[in-house]
Amino acid sequence: MAFQFTDDNFQEVALDSKGLAVVDFWAEWCGPCRMITPIIEELSTEYEGKATIGKVNVDHNPNTSMKYGVRSIPTILILKDGEVVDKHVGVTTKQALQDKIDAHL
């Protein structure tokens, strides 16, 4: 299951940790977000131990969303050692996300 990032744990898990974090900013009411959810879930299982892959509910965690200027969802950020190294806005394919993740592992 994908990790649940929150305003409270984002600093520790995504920014202060070494390695790769893939963060999907989403909302329950967002149709495109629901389309990408199964992809995020699959990737979180496939990359377990290699990357932290999870989701931030923008409605419940506005501070993290504002900090990264998330205005459209889904927005996917890839962070390496706490720094944003890639960003994707909108629906994408599993293969496209895998390619982005693999490029930074």
The per-residue pLDDT for range 38-97, each reduced to its tens digit, is 999 999 999 999 999 999 999 999 999 999 999 999 999 999 999 999 999 999 999 999
Tokens coding 77: 């950020």
Q: Maximum Cα–Cα distance for the chain, whole Å?
A: 33
Q: Which residues are catalytic?
A: 30, 33
How many distinct structural domains can be found in the chain?
1
Please state the pTM of the whole predicted model: 0.95
CATH value at residue 35: 3.40.30.10
Residues 9-21: tens digit of each pLDDT: 999 999 998 999 9
Contact 19, 47 (CB under 8 A): no
Domain with 22 in it: 3-104
CA distances from 69 to 9, 20, 29, 102 (A): 18, 20, 19, 25
